[in-house]
Every structure is written in C-alpha cells, then in structure tokens.
Amino acid sequence: MTHDHKPAAAESATEPLESLEAHEAHHAHDAPAATEESPFGLQYWEDRYSAPGLAWSGNPNPVLVTEATPLPSGRALDIGSGEGADAFWLASQGWSVTGVDISVNALDKSKAAAESLDQTAAARIQWEQHDLTSWLPSPRSYDLVSSQFMHLPEPTRSTLFRGLAAAVAPGGTLLIVAHDVSGLDEADHHAHLTELMFSVDDVLAAIDGENLTVEVAESREREAAPATGETRMRDVVVRATRTAAAVASSTT
C-alpha cells in the first residue's frame, strides 16, 4: 500500500500515489494485480520490493492516523499493506492487524521491519498474501477495514470496495482513501491514469446496500510531496460505520 508513504529518501517521489506511475497506485500495487501481463501485476511488485531499503517512507498514512486514532482498538484489516507502516502503526496502538498484500517480498520486508521495531506490536500482526482482484475478506470480521490508495480499474474496484464494506463487523469502521479523479486536469501528471482513479461518489455507489452509515465523504485537500512538482492534491476520504441499529434491521 501506499501509505502516505512518502517514499524513502533514496526513491524520490511519492506520497501515496504521488507517483501513481511508480506505485501505480501503490495501493494500486496494492492493487493487487491482475495478470502477469499487467504492467503492475505480481511480478512488478515482487521486483519492486526485492530491492534493498524501503520504497516508501516508513510512516503511516496521515488520514489513517487522523481517522483511526479516536477509535477503540480491535481487529483491523490493512488492504495493500506494502512495507507495513500502516499495519505496524495500528498494532502499536493496540489493534490486532491482518496486513494483506500481493507481494511476498513486501510481506517479508514488513514482518522483518515490524519485528526490528517492536516485537510486542509485531506479534499483533498477521501477514497474508492475496491477490485482491480475486480475494475478499470474510463478512463482518473486522472492527476497522482500511484501504489506503488502492487504485484498481472497474469493475474490480467496486467489487473489492463492496467486499471490504461487507467485512466491517457490527460497530466497526470502513476507511477508504485514494487520489481524487475529480481534482485532475489534463496537465496533471496523473491524468493518463484516470482509469485507475475515482471519486467520492464512486466509493459511495460501490458500498451502497451494505448497511453502513457514512460519516465522512469528502474530497480532502493536502500538500503534495515535493518531488511531484505540485503544491496541492485532493484525496477521496470515505469513512463509514456499521451501527448496531443497522445490524438489527438487516436481520429482521
């Protein structure tokens, strides 16, 4: 994933997909991949994460920190976990975390990094390899489901987001953050990747019918990473919860 991972110093670029090309959606990377023919398929990410050092900054995504800090800890699912910064941050806050990525190299790197930083937190993380174009989590299994900069083409994206919404347990939270396609113009360096980007309305349409209460649905402005040559960017931020009332009504 992407974590508002401004890539490590050696890699210039990115905050999440500040180089949608490089990360191609980090979380597009996390965008697990589609086929071996895909330029951002399994082999692409295995090669990328086989390089020494870190591809991203090692810091958790700021929106995740902002939105998850007030939540009581429980079971968390980090989709497109990349080098594990989000999963590790959640575990350090007391969450029991499942970090999912398509790349075994990314998962190995994440596990080693977490264990070197804090073995107690590392023990709270389970790392799993899955291709998110063909795998979905079990329904109502997690107290927090986090998708940070997961950029997939349609209809795979909506199928995934609907499955992530279904995975939210009663009282739990879904958090989806991504680059906002509505903030692009033809001069934007992500403009040629619009098929992988989407809007707040696209997310809301995908999760409609899953009995979640939407608490945040906005295009949120932030500073862009210096390496992009831009000053401001906009991100889709959607946070929704499964309330007890919604659970009761869906079972009657």
One pLDDT digit (tens) per residue for the chain, 252 residues: 444 343 332 222 223 443 343 344 444 444 444 444 455 678 888 988 888 877 666 789 999 999 999 999 999 999 999 999 999 999 999 999 999 999 999 999 999 999 999 999 999 999 999 999 999 999 999 999 999 999 999 999 999 999 999 999 999 999 999 989 886 654 455 555 677 889 999 999 999 999 999 999 999 988 766 555 556 788 999 999 998 765 555 555
Phi first, then psi: give them for residue 143, nearest 5 degrees. Answer: -80, -20
The residues, any chain, with a CB within 8 Å of residue 123's CB and separated by 6 or more, are none
Residue 3, domain member (yes or no): no
Q: Residue 58 sits in which domain range? A: 9-250
What is the CATH number for 96? 3.40.50.150
Residue 19, domain member (yes or no): yes
d(CA 68, CA 41) in angstroms, rounded, equals 30
Residue 215, domain member (yes or no): yes
Q: How many domains does the chain have?
A: 1
* DSSP-based three-state secondary structure for 247: helix
Residue 1, domain member (yes or no): no
Residue 4, domain member (yes or no): no
Residue 173, domain member (yes or no): yes
